[in-house]
Amino acid sequence: MRRLTSLFPSEFLEEHAEELGTVERDRKLQIPAFVWAFVFDFAAGEGRTLADFRRCYNSIADKTLSPGGFYQRLTPTLAEYFSDLVESRLDEVAVPDSVDADVERFRDVMIADGTILRLHELLSEEYKARIEEQAGAKLHLLHNATEKTIERFEITHEKTHDSSLFKTGSWLQGRLILFDLAYFKYRRFVLIDENGGYFVSRLKQNANPVITKELREWRGDAIRLEGKQIHDVVDDLYRTYIDVEVEAEFKRGPYNGTRSLDTNRFRVVGVRNEDADDYHLYITNLPREEFLPSDLATLYRCRW
């Protein structure tokens, strides 16, 4: 909450609304209360109706609004205002100016992601949802962040897993792919590497590869990590960064009706999150010589 209010102080919210013509300062609607009611209750809370939105606003604003007075504020100009707020602060959150990572070495930086679109239940036969008596579509995107274009997109029913829509191949050469956990698969990471591409992904909680080598030396009585599984030791560590090589087992693609087991080595990096007293763990094939742990964390934040 403190981080958000520092990024979006009340004076900024009011001035920006006035600049866009969303609302005038002497009007009854209080923009800061409206923004925070939307963010913390309507968008993220349990109440997802407009009536819930209005009740939350009235509970924190100095002056309440009647249903008619509230709903007439929900205009295209207001939607433009919210969109502009996000764009005006996105660079500060996602890509700090202090980043030293050399992203220009990549042909493109690509972001794979998917989102669910809730549809009318009459469409449930064509767009099957995970919950009965509902309909849902899933939008799959491959975004080229370098060119600011959509490389590929596909719309499927909600039950389609994001991972099944991502195809590897020679197009990966020289490109960096940023994945969320829906795309996590060791075999996919190996194929990206074999096609000359690069990747950064969060490490799944149930993925517990064996540490084969520490990529940074620690003085004194530091806990030795070689031969241990990453999630078995991570809770015992207090260092700022973890930087290790791991070995993981995976299944190759089918050949003559069988799938052989194989192993591969990856780099796993941990960046300590002091607020939560834990680590954000990332898996990658980017070399330590060029990308420090802090660089990987910043690269991954580019997804947002």
- The tens-digit pLDDT sequence of the chain (304 residues) is 555 666 677 777 877 777 677 765 446 788 888 888 888 776 555 656 888 888 888 888 888 888 888 888 888 888 888 877 776 665 455 544 444 566 788 999 999 988 888 898 889 888 988 888 889 898 999 999 888 899 999 999 988 888 888 999 999 999 999 998 889 999 999 999 999 999 999 999 889 999 999 987 766 667 888 999 999 998 888 888 999 999 999 888 777 777 788 999 999 999 988 776 788 899 999 999 889 898 898 888 877 6
Are 196 and 217 within 8 A, CB to CB?
Answer: no
| DSSP sequence for 222-284 | PPP-TTSBHHHHGGG---SEEEEEEEEEEEPPPBTTB--EEEEEEEEEEEEETTTTEEEEEEE
Q: Strand 241-251 to strand 210-214: parallel, antiparallel, or no bridges (unpaired)?
A: antiparallel
What is the reported pLDDT for 96?
47
For residue 132, count other CB atoms closer than 10 A to its CB. 8
* H or E stretch at 90: helix 76-94
How many whole angstroms separate alpha carbon 242 and alpha carbon 280?
10
| Domain spans of the chain, in order of start | 2-94, 103-301
Burial class for 294, CB neighbours closer than 10 Å (0-12, 13-18, 19+): middle
Q: Can you read off the two tokens belonging to residue 204?
A: 């799944």
pTM over 0.85: no
Residue with tokens 């960096």: 176
What is the reported pLDDT for 107?
92
CA 186 from chain center: how many Å? 19
What is the reported pLDDT for 46?
60
What is the reported pLDDT for 100?
52
